[in-house]
Structure 1
Amino acid sequence: MSPSSILRRHRVAALLGAALIISPVVVSFAQNNAGLSTVAATTQTPVAGITAPNGSFAPVIAVTKPAVVTITSIMKAQPQVGDDGSPLGGNVPFDQFFQQFFGDQGMPMPRTPPQQQGQRAEALGSGFIVGADGTIVTNNHVIDGASSIKVTLDDGTELPAKLVGHDAKNDLAVLKIKADKPLPTVKWGDSSKLMTGDQVLAIGNPFGIGTTVTAGIVSARGRDLHSGPFDDFIQIDAPINHGNSGGPLVDVNGNVIGINTAIYSPNGGSVGVGFAIPSDQAEKVVAKLMKGGDIEYGYLGVQIQPVTPDVASAIGLDHPGGALVSQVTDGSPAAKA
């Protein structure tokens, strides 16, 4: 059985701390409206790798951790109508996602609802600062459905955040906060140079316990979780859990080479199989989102599938490669062409 087949048969969970979204395949998330903001250059200088004689990651963490933030998404709490068997008790906005992607298949999942305070519910995620002016990157699913957003800096300062832009297909969002001083930042790294076995650090706020750093290696590249049209995840074994969504995956030079987004979880917790969006993909999307608004995508109107060895043999190819157009949608640009 291929790795992709194994993933399709199990559960992959988004890492939003208070709203665990699980499906037999993978979920995609809805969009919000977006505002506008200015672009600020990243100023942080990366560290020069591990310099401590005992191989400690402390020099890397000292530079990167101050730029990692906790994101609190505040939503209007829904009236509690009792336990209907939903993993979230049927009383939070995210329940609609379970119904859409989870259905009534009866898979056991842990109950991790947002913390409700009166007429509102709060859910936690992570993010990181890429602009000294307060520009922050996170996952789209961390802020999706929020009526307001709050950011907590590494020093404990809490600031309101504005949604600058978001893209559900890539699961990325850009926020903006106003601080009275330049903020610490991290730089983008080059994920294309990552190799299986390279050391990585994952930073975020799992379960809301506070900023946490875990270490591991790149387990695989190019994982397709079937969560969207741009899946090209980095697989890691650094432990990440609910609340790590949107936090940075950094290399030993302190550069962001991924955004922690999902885990494979048969039991609701980390089992050492996590997934991050590559920085090369994320940086381009973020650059467009920083200009404000959503990203528009072209539409061809075709369905494609990979050319497997069996397909190649059936259509007379010498070797598998490329893609096969399996269907053309009626009335689409492709059909007209």
Structure 2
Amino acid sequence: MKKIALIVLAAFIGGAVAIGGYKMFERSTSGMTLAEKQNVLFASNPVKISSTGAVDFVQAAAAVSPAVVHIRTTFKAEGSAAGGPGSPMDMMEEFFGGRGGRRSRAPRAASGSGVILTPDGYIVTNNHVVDNADKIQVVLSDRRKVEAKVIGRDPNTDLALIKVDASDLPVVKMGNSDNVQVGEWVLAVGFPLDLQTTVTAGIVSAKSRAIGILNRDQQPTEEEYEEYQRTGKAPARTNSAIESYIQTDAAINPGNSGGALVNANGELIGINAAIASQTGTNEGYGFAIPVNLAKKILEDFKKYGSVKRGYVGVTFQELNADAAENLKINDVSGLYVNDVMPEGGGAAAGIKKGDIIKKVEGREVFASPDLQEKIGRMSPGDKVQLTISRDGKEQNVNVTLKGDESLNKPKTTLAAKTTGTTMSKLGASFAPASPAIKAKFGAKNGVVVTAVEPGKAFDNLDIPKGLLVTSINGKPVNSAKDVEAALPTSKNGKTTVAGIGPNGNYTFSFN
């Protein structure tokens, strides 16, 4: 009896100490950053298995699953199509969160996933999961439903930080995505296809992948297209989007968006964001935002509510054998500087047009993600060392990054001119593109050409029936009425038709 009493007393004292310790922890960490809180939470947790070793994911799945949440969002109907132009799901529903099917005037619902980072309710997810949402509801692992508010969103990385009013929540430990290796085993955890918590396994297939999804809705301007026709040179653009995805073959499906990609230790190494698919469901290639990039973005959200991004202040293109031949240079790797912004950090450091960026902080640069992810983790005022090649000789330059104010001001919009084109002159009829067609071509909006009249403009341009038209004179179109409204004016008096076909993007201009 005495022994039992001692056991009960010890248990009571242990519980009291644990509760008191947590309360002290809660008070002492209130001013910490997300990363600092994580360090305190996991300081005593030893690594139990090798990240690239044992293929037993039981411990990792058990550690992570309770801290991956289901996010449900509601969007107001817009016009005759709920979630129409302006809804983030138009761009991303073929990857995650969209349910497809027939649209109506009823409010549209979508779903995704999120990862709890702190016991007091900070949750990371994708921007496209919560963008323009009227209501965000988080379903916790204990089946509680709680409302969430947005702390910050960034379409340039597709990241968002939301907050729920809760405490003592389970959390996922943030790992180090720089240490991730191709061939390493990983788990994807989320809520695919509205199923409950689902864990899938695969390997890291590649790193630093840019897939163009964050800028796929940017069509070339008329001036850019005419320049391309004359010179064959693709336009160089000042682009704030940062894509440096971890590619994995772990099965990822609609609803996984914003969920966790973790290593075999149960450490968060990425936020699942997209899949490469012709059908809208898993075909073996998923893409996750590296957690090291996410850390900086999330801290900015927490401190400022938005991202404070630093810029080198140059535009560039990736080099390969074909690009080097066109540019008449010998280098086949690195980033060729097309232009230098006069107020940017690159100009102040002496970078010139025609220079080739070969290294960033001593690490070789082969593609744009190699530079963009590194810069994306930094802030205005930070310094970065770039190694550039000029006239065949390499030199190091120290660039002080500058903020948005250093970017070139947008070009003055040209006055609109009447085109004189009518629906009759086009000689075509149109129908709204279905979600399946938009998913097939990766389009955010569009109309399908349903008929072409012989001898009229579309027939003369060989624009066939079935092609997807995304914009007329630079204006997005989703119906025949949109096409008609966009026809009368353009920047140069010409009618410009842009869209996507089996062979990629196309643009036609005619008087």
- The two structures have a TM-score, normalised by structure 1, of 0.73
Task: Provide the residue aligned with 1:74 in structure 2.
Answer: 74
CA 1:115–1:295: 2 relative to 1, 3 Å: farther
1:70–1:126 Cα contact (<8 Å) kept: yes
Determine which structure has the larger helix proportion and give its number: 2
**1:141 correspondence with 2:125:** no
Query: Quick one: which of 307, 312, 324 aligns to 2:319?
Result: 307
Query: Quick one: which of 264, 267, 274 aligns to 2:286?
Result: 274
Summarize deviations over 1:179-212 as a string: whole Å, max 9, x none. Answer: 2x41110111111111111000000000111110
Stretches of structure 2 lacking an aligned partner (at least 5 in a row):
1-30, 215-240, 345-405, 410-511
Point out the more displaced range, 273-282 or 289-298: 289-298
Query: Quick one: which of 227, 246, 261 aligns to 1:234?
Result: 246
Output the CA distance in 1 between the equivalents of 2:146 and 2:89.
31
2:72–2:138 Cα contact (<8 Å) kept: yes
What are the equivalent positions in structure 2 for 1:154-169 lying under 5 Å apart?
154-169=141-156
2:63 is paired with a residue whose SS is: helix
1:68–1:126 Cα contact (<8 Å) kept: yes
Displacement over 3 Å in runs of 4+ = 37-40, 44-47, 93-102, 113-119, 296-302, 310-319, 327-336
What are the equivalent positions in structure 2 for 1:8-47 lying under 5 Å apart?
39=33, 41-42=37-38, 43-44=41-42, 45=45
Give, in angstroms, the shift of residue 114 of structure 1. 9.0
What are the equivalent positions in structure 2 for 1:235-274 lying under 5 Å apart?
235-274=247-286
2:82 is paired with a residue whose SS is: coil
Query: Quick one: which of 164, 167, 179 aligns to 1:193?
Result: 179
**1:128 correspondence with 2:119:** no
1:130–1:136 Cα contact (<8 Å) kept: yes
CA 1:159–1:311: 2 relative to 1, 3 Å: same
Task: Provide the residue aligned with 2:15 in structure 1.
Answer: none
Summarize deviations over 1:54-98 as a string: whole Å, max 9, x none. Answer: 94311111111110001111222346x4xxxxxxxx332467668
Output the CA distance in 1 between the equivalents of 2:140 and 2:330.
56
- The two structures have a TM-score, normalised by structure 2, of 0.49
Output the CA distance in 2 between the equivalents of 1:114 and 1:75.
16
Q: How many residues align?
A: 282
Output the CA distance in 1 between the equivalents of 2:325 and 2:112.
47
Tell me which amino acid in the other structure corresponds to 2:75.
M
What are the equivalent positions in structure 2 for 1:63-102 lying under 5 Å apart?
63-78=63-78, 81=80, 90-93=81-84
Point out the more displaced range, 307-316 or 138-147: 307-316
Give, in angstroms, the shift of residue 123 of structure 1. 0.9
**1:182 correspondence with 2:168:** yes
Output the CA distance in 2 between the equivalents of 1:325 and 1:147.
42
1:114–1:123 Cα contact (<8 Å) kept: no
Point out the more displaced range, 309-318 or 280-289: 309-318
Task: Provide the residue aligned with 1:112 in structure 2.
Answer: 99
CA 1:324–1:297: 2 relative to 1, 3 Å: same
% identical aligned pairs: 38
Tell me which amino acid in the other structure corresponds to 1:219.
S
Output the CA distance in 2 between the equivalents of 1:201 and 1:163.
27
Give, in angstroms, the shift of residue 120 of structure 1. 2.8
1:165–1:290 Cα contact (<8 Å) kept: yes
